[in-house]
Amino acid sequence: LKNVSKSYRLANGIEKKALNCVSLNFPDTGLVFVVGKSGSGKSTLLNIIGGLDKEDSGEVIVDGKSLKHFKNEDYDYYRNEYIGFVHQEANLIPDYNVYENIMIALKLKGMKISYEDCDKLLDYLSLNGLGNRNINELSGGEKMRVSIARALVKNPKILICDEPISALDVSIRAQIINLLNDLKNEFNLSIIFI
C-alpha cells in the first residue's frame, strides 16, 4: 500500500478519517498480524486490500499491478481470483450443510469441486466426516473452520481474516491461529490477520 487514505462522511456531514497515508508492504506468503485498537481503521484497511472498498487517495498494488484504475469487472475478477475473506461471524448459510456451504463459493466462480476433493479440504481443517452436517449442529470453532474452508476452496492468493477468533472461546483461539499458520505453507498464502 502506498500512502492510502480513506475517510467516511457521517450522516451529520462531518468527515471521519479512517486511514491516514498508510504505507505497508506484505510478503508474498506468510501470516501477518495487524494490531490496533477498536476504531483504528483495521477493517477499513482489510476492505480496501480485499477490493470491497476503495481508497480516496494513494494506491494498492498487488503482484505489481495497481488497483487504481480498476473497473467494476476488474474488481469482480480480483475478488474472485485473489481474495478469500474470513470474518468474525462465520456467516454460513444455515439451511445448507457443510458441503453446500463450501461448494457455493466455487459455484459463484462457475467452477466445481468433487466431494472427494472437498473431503480432503475438510480433513485438512480437522472437519473429517462433517460434510453432510447441518450448520446449526456445529460448534463455534467448527463453524469458523468451515468458513476458512469456504475461503480456501477458491484457491485465493490472499486470505484476509477480520477478527476471526474474537467471538470464539479463548481455549480454541490458538487452534485457529496454528491452523492458519500451517495453511499459509500448504496453500502458498499471504494471510493478513487482525
Question: Residues in the site for Mg ion, rule: CB under 5 A?
Answer: 42-43
Q: Is 42 helix (H, G, I), strand (E, B) or coil?
A: helix
Residues 73-92 within binding reach of ligand ADP (CB under 6 A): none
Nearer to Mg ion, 43 or 190 (CB): 43
Q: Which does 171 bind (CB under 5 to 8 A by kind): ligand ADP, Mg ion, none?
A: none
Residue 66 main-chain phi, psi, to 5 deg: -80, 140
Q: Which residues contact 92 (CB under 8 A, 6 or more apart)?
A: 101, 135, 143, 146, 147, 150
Nearer to ligand ADP, 41 or 58 (CB): 41
Distance of alpha carbon 147 from the chain centroid: 9
Nearer to ligand ADP, 25 or 38 (CB): 38
Nearer to ligand ADP, 39 or 129 (CB): 39
Which grid cell sits at 42? Answer: 483495521
Q: Which does 120 bind (CB under 5 to 8 A by kind): Mg ion, ligand ADP, none?
A: none
CB-based burial, 4-20: b 16+ in 10 Å, e otherwise? bebbeeeeeeeeeebbe
Greatest CA span in the chain, whole angstroms? 54
**Nearest distance in Å: CB 38, ligand ADP:** 4
Using CA atoms, how far apart are residues 81 and 74, in angstroms rounded to an integer?
10
The site string for ligand ADP over 93-122 (x = CB under 6 A, - otherwise) reads ------------------------------
The site string for ligand ADP over 26-45 (x = CB under 6 A, - otherwise) reads ----------x-xxxxxxx-
Query: Site residues (CB under 6 A) for ligand ADP?
Result: 8, 10, 16, 18, 36, 38-44
